[in-house]
Structure formats: structure tokens, C-alpha cells
Structure 1
Amino acid sequence: MGDSGVSRGPGAEAAWVERLGVGAWTDVVVALRAGADVVDRGQYIVVRTPSNRSYVWGNCIHVLEGADDAERWRTVFAEEFSDVGHVAIGLPRTPDAAAWPGLHVRVEDVLVRGPDAEREAPPVSGDVEVRPLRQDSDWGELVELLVEENARTEEFPQLGFRGFLERTFQARSDIALAGDGCFFGAWAEGRLVAHVGVIACGPVARYQWVVTHVDHRRRGLASALIEQCARWAVAHGCVQQVIMADAGSAAARLYESLGFVPGDPVVGVEWFE
């Protein structure tokens, strides 16, 4: 398909939030900050990241109607993306799973809070340094932390995962250098053991990549890093904060304990090799 209807910039971003909801909207804006092209085709929105073709939800469509019209939207996705090894289609509501054979229905809780919900994080146990990621070696440690975590959980195929992370965090480091985001880590005994990032999407702060090494959980690290991100967001004029988690997960319960309130979920269907 052609590139007619390309939409970028604050005006377009403001229009998208009304159509997508704040969860999917921040997904789109984060991808835009990371170098994606966004095309508004009226009945659906295309997000394309040429520099990172394995970025599943950076190469996707968000449809605005017909959640059960699987044949139509699978055809549209195939026309838009003929050279990717995945399917990623955002939907306006939870679909009938039977309408989407072979695809996984993805539902994520979207949790929000305002700046007045900022609070002191509980003390972190042990000798831990909390600071932003600043240099290439810091980003390299984050890649290693996530590769190790993925080997444990098998959430994503390991083949190609490291390359995907390296491309993703090159873009994130550029976002940080531009002042549009900040990525905080916690180091214990000289090793990165936890991370939370935040990106400013206009007046909304979107949290990303919340991870704690399995041997360092229940030490208050995630809570401490989230509050560091919250301070950054408030200082940079964000009046709302958005974080996402698998529906009904322990992570979602943690975020609620920190003052986040459930909103409308993000829904989609996906498949990847």
C-alpha cells in the first residue's frame, strides 16, 4: 500500500488518543519516538519501524472497528507487512477468540495515576545504587538482564531476541539523550539487577521495561525505580502516568499498591515465530 495519510506530530498524536484509548495511544507514541512511521488510514492506523522489523508491536496495525472481522484484518495486515515474521493487530475490544484461529489474544491491563499520587518508595534492602542508565555498558547490562530473564520465562523465542533488544535500546538511548525519556537501573554488587524506563508522550508518561532479576525480588527495587520515574515525569510536565501489565498479574497488583488505577485494557491478537 502507498504512504498516503502519513500523520506525525503533536496534533496527530492528540487525535489518536481519542480513537485508540490511552494504552494503545502511548504504544503508538513510544514507537513514534523510537523512529517509527505512523500512517492513519481512517479505519486503522499503521505503525512501521523499518530499523527494527522484529519489533512486533512496532510493526503492527491498530484497527478501530470490527474486532471479530478476522479475515478482513488479517488480509490488511498481510498487505501492509509482507516481510515480517509475525502478526500484530490491535483491536477496539476483546474479540471472540474463535474468530482468530492460530493467533493469541493479548489483553493487557492499563493502569493510570496522576502526579498527586506520587509517594515515597519503601526502603530498598541491601546496598543498592539507583541511577539512570548513562553509557553503552549500562545498556549492554540491560540487554543481558533481559536475555537472562527471557531464557527463564521463555516468553519470547531466544533466537534473534538479543539483536531485537540491541536495536530497541539504541533507540531508547537516543530518546533519553533527546530528553524525552529516562531509564533507571538498580545495581547490586556492581551488577544491574532491576530496571524501569519512562517516556514522555506529551502530557502522559508511559512506563516501560519493568524487570527485576529473579534473585533480587521482594527488595522494593521495582517500587523504588517506579517512583524515580514518577519524579522525572512530574518534573517534565506529565500530568498522567500510564503503566501496563498482563491482565490479572502480580505486576498489576504491585502497580495498584503504588496508586495506579485500572483503566480500559489494551486488546489485540498476535503471532510470532
Structure 2
Amino acid sequence: MHLRSLGYRTDLIFARFQGVVDDLGDVIRVTNPDNPTHYFGNFLIFERPPQPSDLPAWESRFAELVGTPPTVRHTLFGWDVPARGEADIQSFVDAGYTLEENVIMSASALHAPARPNTSAELRVIEDTDEAWGAVVDHQVACREDRFNESEASYRTFKEGQFRRYRAMTKAGLGFWYGAFVEGVLAADLGVYTDGALARFQSVGTHPAYRRQGLCGTLTHFAGTHAQQTFGAGELVIVADDHYFAKDIYAGVGFRTRERQQLLLRHPQDA
């Protein structure tokens, strides 16, 4: 199965590093035996969008190929069709699934935002426990309201996520970047690559430092640094279709290339 979607192709940069990716012909299986609760570490990407009669078969494939409760308690389906409007999802929605929609944006090069922040210090995060711990603290502080789990649960998730990012950094696959205001981490993000593509991750600005141009300024700095370091020909970033961040990314040169849709059923007791 040849993936067309930039979104899924760059998702798999991370899945392959910490998990298993299997091409089964009509579907790609992504599994992470070490972290079965990670949604994007355990899901299926189908070759075509869902149709009304697919629900039983798709759920059966997920149970067989990915897992079932109590080990894997969620269900997540994607499909390799960048254009929206071809999927018939009502039967899935009726069964308790939520439609997740993302905008996939890319650029061959970035430019500075119209109003850059010129006072912040922009740099790669140092490889120390203290520096990475500060990043986790910052990410927890930037948690969006739509994430309704407890802070303790969210922190546990972020700690696991950043163990992977730190390991990928040590493996030479990318960097984590920070914008510091008077020595305080105010914004951060990561960029990791497979050589040809470079994918941004977990862009966040602390609530106390928003509307100061930090996000666009750091995005431009990190993308330029990553391309100069790794030579990736295309930068890829993913934004929630209903969130303002996509306008910030457009302001430094990203353009919408496709829309990614997924169907997620949360654990029943979540």
C-alpha cells in the first residue's frame, strides 16, 4: 500500500521509531506494544474511506490486528484519502466514534512572520534532564481546554511522549526547540525527519506569553535550522481544522495540502 498522504507518511516517522508498522496490502497496521494506550501508536490506516457497511469489518480487523480491552481500550481508524467528503461515517458516529479533522500543511522553505518577536532567545533544547523536564512542564502548562483528562494523567502521557522525542534527538533524527523570554521557556516545538520530509511536533506557547509573535518566530527558526541541518526538502505541520494555529503557520509560508480525517472511539470509561 503506497501512502499518498503527507500527514500519515510523517506520522510514521514516529511510529517506526517506537513501535511497529506493517503494510498488509489494503491496510497499514501501527502498533506499540510498550504503550498500548497511545492512540497514534496503535491504529489502522485503510486504503479507502469508510462506507456504511464497513463498521463491523473494520472493528473486527482492529481487534485482530491491533488489540482489544483491557490491553488496547480505544479504537482508531484513518484512511489514505487526503480530500474530504468521500467518507460515509454516520454508522461510526452512531456507534460512538468521533470524527477528528486535521489540516496538513507543508512548505519547501519558510519566511519570517510579518511581526516577528525579536527579543526572545531561540535555541535548541540542551540534552540535560533539567532542560527536558522544563519542556514537559511547559507542555503541561500549554494543555488545551479540549483535553479533559486530569493534569496528572496528561503529565504521564507527556513524560512518555518526551522520552521518545529525547531518544529521537539522541539518534540524530531531529531537535527540540525553545523560545526563552528572560531565561524562561515561553514556547517550544520539535522537528524530526526521515531525510526527505521533516515533521513539526507539539507546538506550544505558554498562556502568559501568547500574542507576542513567539509561535511564528520559533516555527520559522526551527524549520530553517532543521532544513540546514538535515537537508529535508519539505516541511510538514499538522493543525486542528477548527483551531487558529493554522493561520500562524500560513503566516510563515505553510500552505494547506490535504485534510486528514480519522474516526476515534475513546475508551468506554474515559
TM-score when normalising by structure 1: 0.85
The answer to whether 1:153 aligns with 2:136 is no
Is 2:49–2:88's contact at 8 Å kept on the other side of the alignment? Answer: no
1-side partners of 2:177 and 2:47: how far apart? Answer: 34
2-side partners of 1:161 and 1:220: how far apart? Answer: 27
2:38 to 51, 55, 72: 55
1-side partners of 2:130 and 2:112: how far apart? Answer: 29
State the secondary structure of the residue aligned to 2:232. Answer: coil
Q: Tell me how many residue pairs correspond in the alignment.
A: 252
1:144 paired residue number: 137
Cα separation, partners in 2 of 1:271 and 1:156, compared to 1, 3 Å: farther
The answer to whether 1:105 aligns with 2:99 is yes
The answer to whether 1:131 aligns with 2:123 is yes
2-side partners of 1:48 and 1:203: how far apart? Answer: 24
1:27 paired residue number: 11
Give deviations 1:178-234, integer Å, cap 9, x for gaps.
111111012224332211110012211101110101111111111121112212222
Give deviations 1:70-112, integer Å, cap 9, x for gaps.
2211221122222222111112345333121211111100011
1:81 to 67, 73, 85: 67
State the secondary structure of the residue aligned to 2:25. Answer: coil
Deviation of 1:50 after TM superposition, in Å, equals 2.2
Cα separation, partners in 2 of 1:50 and 1:244, compared to 1, 3 Å: same
Deviation of 1:156 after TM superposition, in Å, equals 4.5
2:55 paired residue number: 70
Give deviations 1:14-34, integer Å, cap 9, x for gaps.
xx6x4241111111122212x
1-side partners of 2:182 and 2:227: how far apart? Answer: 30
Unpaired stretches in structure 2, ≥5 consecutive residues: none
The one-letter amino acid of 2:138's match is L
The one-letter amino acid of 1:188's match is V
Cα separation, partners in 2 of 1:120 and 1:148, compared to 1, 3 Å: closer
1-side partners of 2:186 and 2:55: how far apart? Answer: 41
1-side partners of 2:221 and 2:99: how far apart? Answer: 33
2:169 paired residue number: 176
Deviation of 1:52 after TM superposition, in Å, equals 2.4
Is 2:105–2:255's contact at 8 Å kept on the other side of the alignment? Answer: yes
2-side partners of 1:75 and 1:197: how far apart? Answer: 36
Q: Comparing 180-189 with 152-161, which one deviates more in the overlay?
A: 152-161
Aligned alpha-carbon RMSD (Å)? 1.9
1:240 to 229, 234, 239: 234
Is 1:30–1:201's contact at 8 Å kept on the other side of the alignment? Answer: no
The answer to whether 1:249 aligns with 2:243 is yes
Identity, in percent, stands at 27
Deviation of 1:66 after TM superposition, in Å, equals 4.5
Is 1:54–1:164's contact at 8 Å kept on the other side of the alignment? Answer: no
Task: Point out 4+ residue stretches in structure 1 off by more than 3 angstroms.
Answer: 120-123
The one-letter amino acid of 1:109's match is V
The one-letter amino acid of 1:187's match is F
The one-letter amino acid of 2:123's match is R
The one-letter amino acid of 2:140's match is V
2-side partners of 1:125 and 1:22: how far apart? Answer: 32
2:111 paired residue number: 119
2-side partners of 1:66 and 1:124: how far apart? Answer: 42
The one-letter amino acid of 1:97's match is I
Cα separation, partners in 2 of 1:268 and 1:71, compared to 1, 3 Å: same
State the secondary structure of the residue aligned to 2:78. Answer: strand
